[in-house]
Amino acid sequence: MSLGRDAGMASGSEAGPGVSEAGRLDLPVMTGRQSLREQVAQALRDALVAAEMRPGVVYSAPVLAAQFGVSATPVREAMLDLAKEGLVEAVRNKGFRVTELSERDLDELTEIRKLLEVPTVARLADAARVADFEQLRPVAEEIVSAAERGDLLAYVNADLRFHVELLALAGNAHLVEVARDLRYRARLYGLKSMSERGTLADSAREHLDILDALIRGDADAARRIMDHHIQHVRGIWADRPE
């Protein structure tokens, strides 16, 4: 999915200085059992995490709705949901602006993720749970495949599913919800540049390494790989475009 600040701009826009409407987003068709509001919200979260939607840019609900092929109402509702989560902020008579994360924000998110996820994953290490871990292997492989073909939104979606489903094995639903929220607040600014350099797949394979350590029942290795992986992701967060 690509996003340009100037591409697909509506003519006669009233956006002021430093403000623009959304460029063309390669958004998914809204189908399935989820409500349109839920589907739109999830698609936009993925675009935010992948840093396809940029901080400071104002995105118009009608413009996004046209790209989704739906009315503006579920898009506005979805954007209001994201505003409540602190991911965007409403701009009167314009649309919604993506909130920006500071370096301190990124450091704090990384610290919280390590405190939650590293010990939780290490405690899961048990060779007797091989079947549980093997069920996650297709998701880990999907992450690698998405990285290799440069599909950033598929990468983000599969990465989220892997970590959420892995943590869910610990049986703490509240922890899973907190971890999911932390990931929605992330901005993987460096995904595109890593994909272009051909190094994103290396990061993606860390998910397979985590599973292998868990299957061996090696808690120390699982802890070490998970800690490295989260710190690696912090580097991706920091790799902001010029």
For 6-62, the pLDDT digits (tens) are 333 333 333 433 334 445 555 555 555 468 899 999 999 988 888 788 888 899 999
Residues of the chain below pLDDT 50? 1-22, 33, 240-242
Last residue of a domain, one of 74, 100, 126: 100
Same domain, 75 and 129: no
Same domain, 95 and 110: no
The predicted pLDDT at position 215 comes to 96
For the chain, what is the domain count? 2
Computed on alpha carbons and rounded to an integer, the radius of gyration of the chain in Å comes to 19
Contacts of 224 (CB under 8 A, 6+ apart): none
Domain boundary among 34, 66, 100: 100
- Boundary (domain end) residue, out of 100, 130, 145: 100
The answer on 137 and 117 residing in a single domain is yes
Secondary structure E strands in the chain = 58-59, 88-91, 95-98
Q: Specify the CATH number for the domain of residue 176.
A: 1.20.120.530
Q: Are 36 and 30 in contact (CB under 8 A)?
A: yes
Burial 195-219 (b: 16+ CB within 10 A, else e): beeeebbebbebbebbbbbbbeebb
Considering the entire predicted model, what is its pTM?
0.76
Domain containing 3 — which CATH number? 1.10.10.10
Residue 76 confidence (pLDDT): 94
The one-letter amino acid code at 139 reads: V
119 & 69 share domain: no
Instruction: State whether residue 107 is helix, strand or coil.
Output: helix
DSSP 133-196: HHTTHHHHHHHHHHHHHT-HHHHHHHHHHHHHHHHHTTT-HHHHHHHHHHHHT---TTHHHHHH
Say if residue 230 is in the same domain as residue 133.
yes
26: containing domain: 1-100
- Residues 131, 82 share a domain: no
Could you count the other beta carbons within 10 Å of the beta carbon of residue 182?
A: 17
